């Protein structure tokens, strides 16, 4: 296909183009452009297509000296956080978000980044990019700070769809394993299925069936299945990828973000409590800065939409410039690796294996 040829040619040349929605975040387009400037200063192999009102974006791009790295595509409409996905689908073709996704669909960019409305972004992405053949439900995968050597674990789904049956959970395991290989350089990732306990007799019926399906697929899909894991394992070194439904995953994600914010606030209060505690804070400054960097949510900013014919990264709505730069870097890394094509091939291979298993089982019964 022409778009695939364009993407392969761009990767071969070393330049990756990221399509960026400039208007979706709470902090405004100036913050998005500042994030692109940080990204550009660290990597000469990234180019950008920036979507939004040209008269507003042009001075910002010029101020950050990005004219040679950034193409602006005029889009007057803006998707707000209050807009319903159905409303955006009917009336949002003139918006920066729609234009940003369309650039990936047309092959002009290898990945899309937006800080905007999650529901609207998923709806546009599903309609314009379409699901990979064999995928029932796309998923949103996030990076979670962990004590693993690489510093992060992957969890999916964290909010694309509140429902997930055993087939969906099986596909999430395959997609999560592929993301771990291409995003975290883990050649044989460890997959865990989130449950209320690690015993095989616990959990809902679909979890037990998914457990059996994932265990059967693991040897041929090049990942290790550790079985059921609990909430306490999410940041642990026992697992690399945590598979769950979007309802559970989103609650866990928001709980983790809230807990991290509370810990930072309580630490700040504790070290300001007295003159002695302030002296202790100064003595521990280096260690505190290291801890702050380790749990800084901006470093892991970006939920990846998995299961679509194109890479889309959802940056947090309240992202600052560093958060935007982190999301762009994640999109660049996945695009550079040819992640979408590799994921599609992995899903196709797994589908063939499942069909072979079904046919073999049926043949055995007949015999």
**pLDDT, tens digit, 9 for 90 and up, residues 229-273:** 999 999 999 999 999 999 999 999 888 888 877 877 887 888 888
Closest C-alpha to 339, from 160, 128, 132, 188: 132
CATH class of 1-130+308-336: alpha beta
Can you tell me which residue has the tokens 């700070």?
Answer: 145
User: How many whole angstroms separate alpha carbon 147 and alpha carbon 24?
Assistant: 33
Q: Across all residues in the chain, what is the average pLDDT?
A: 85
Confidence category of residue 9, pLDDT binned at 50, 70, 90: very low
Higher pLDDT, 178 or 278: 178
Res. 6: pLDDT tops 50: no
Q: Where are the beta strands (DSSP E) in the chain?
A: 16-21, 46-52, 70-74, 111-114, 139-145, 152-156, 190-194, 224-229, 241-243, 303-306, 311-314
Concatenating the DSSP letter of every residue in 200-224 gives TT-S-HHHHHHHHHHHHHHHHHT-E
Helix (H) or strand (E) holding 41: helix 29-42
> Are 330 and 302 contacting, i.e. CB atoms less than 8 angstroms apart?
yes
Q: Exposed, middle or buried: residue 342 (CB in 10 Å: 0-12, 13-18, 19+)? A: middle
User: How many whole angstroms separate alpha carbon 89 and alpha carbon 114?
Assistant: 16
Residue range(s) in the chain whose domain bears CATH number 3.40.718.10: 1-130+308-336, 136-302+339-367
pLDDT tens-digit map of 87-142: 899 988 999 999 999 999 999 999 999 998 989 999 999 999 999 888 888 999 98
> Residue range 277-291: average pLDDT?
75
Confidence category of residue 8, pLDDT binned at 50, 70, 90: very low
> Are 309 and 133 contacting, i.e. CB atoms less than 8 angstroms apart?
no
Q: What per-residue confidence (pLDDT) applies to 282?
A: 79
Q: What per-residue confidence (pLDDT) applies to 214?
A: 93
Nearest-Å Rg of the Cα atoms of the chain is 22
Q: Which residues contact 251 (CB under 8 A, 6 or more apart)?
A: none
Q: What per-residue confidence (pLDDT) applies to 14?
A: 66
> Residue range 342-349: average pLDDT?
78
Q: Which residues contact 188 (CB under 8 A, 6 or more apart)?
A: 222, 223, 224
Q: What per-residue confidence (pLDDT) applies to 356?
A: 54
Statement: 136-302+339-367 belongs to CATH 3.30.450.40:
no
Closest C-alpha to 71, from 58, 87, 56, 89: 58
Residues paired with 139 in a beta bridge: 306
Residues paired with 303 in a beta bridge: 314
> Residue range 143-159: average pLDDT?
88
């Amino acid at each position: 296909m022409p778009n695939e040829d364009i993407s392969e040619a761009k990767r071969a040349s070393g330049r990756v183009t990221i399509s960026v929605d400039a208007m979706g975040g709470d902090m405004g387009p100036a913050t998005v452009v500042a994030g692109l400037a940080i990204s550009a200063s660290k990597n000469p192999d990234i180019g950008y297509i920036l979507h939004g009102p040209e008269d507003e974006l042009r001075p910002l791009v010029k101020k950050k000296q990005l004219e040679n790295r950034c193409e602006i595509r005029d889009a007057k409409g803006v998707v707000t956080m209050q807009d319903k996905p159905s409303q955006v689908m009917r009336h949002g073709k003139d918006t920066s978000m729609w234009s940003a996704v369309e650039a990936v669909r047309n092959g002009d960019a290898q990945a899309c980044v937006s800080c905007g409305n999650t529901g609207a972004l998923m709806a546009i992405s599903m309609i314009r990019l379409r699901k990979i053949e064999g995928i029932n439900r796309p998923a949103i995968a996030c990076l979670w700070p962990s004590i693993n050597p690489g510093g992060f674990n992957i969890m999916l789904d964290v909010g694309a769809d509140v429902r997930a049956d055993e087939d969906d959970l099986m596909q999430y395991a395959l997609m999560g394993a592929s993301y771990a290989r291409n995003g975290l350089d883990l050649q044989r990732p460890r997959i865990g299925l989130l449950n209320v306990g690690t015993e095989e007799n616990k959990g809902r019926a679909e979890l037990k069936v998914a457990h059996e399906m994932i265990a059967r697929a693991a040897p041929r899909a090049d990942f290790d299945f550790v079985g059921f894991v609990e909430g306490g394992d999410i940041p642990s070194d026992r697992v690399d990828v945590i598979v769950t439904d979007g309802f559970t995953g989103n609650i866990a994600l928001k709980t983790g973000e809230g807990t991290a914010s509370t810990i930072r606030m309580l630490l700040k209060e504790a070290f300001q409590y007295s003159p002695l505690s302030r002296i202790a804070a100064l003595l521990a400054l280096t260690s505190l800065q290291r801890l702050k960097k380790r749990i800084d949510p901006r470093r892991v900013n970006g939920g990846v939409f998995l299961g679509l014919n194109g890479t889309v990264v959802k940056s947090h709505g309240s992202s600052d410039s560093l958060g935007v730069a982190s999301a762009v870097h994640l999109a660049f890394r996945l695009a550079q690796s040819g992640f979408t094509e590799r994921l599609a091939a992995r899903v196709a291979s797994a589908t063939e294996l499942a069909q072979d298993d079904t046919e073999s089982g049926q043949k055995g019964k007949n015999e």
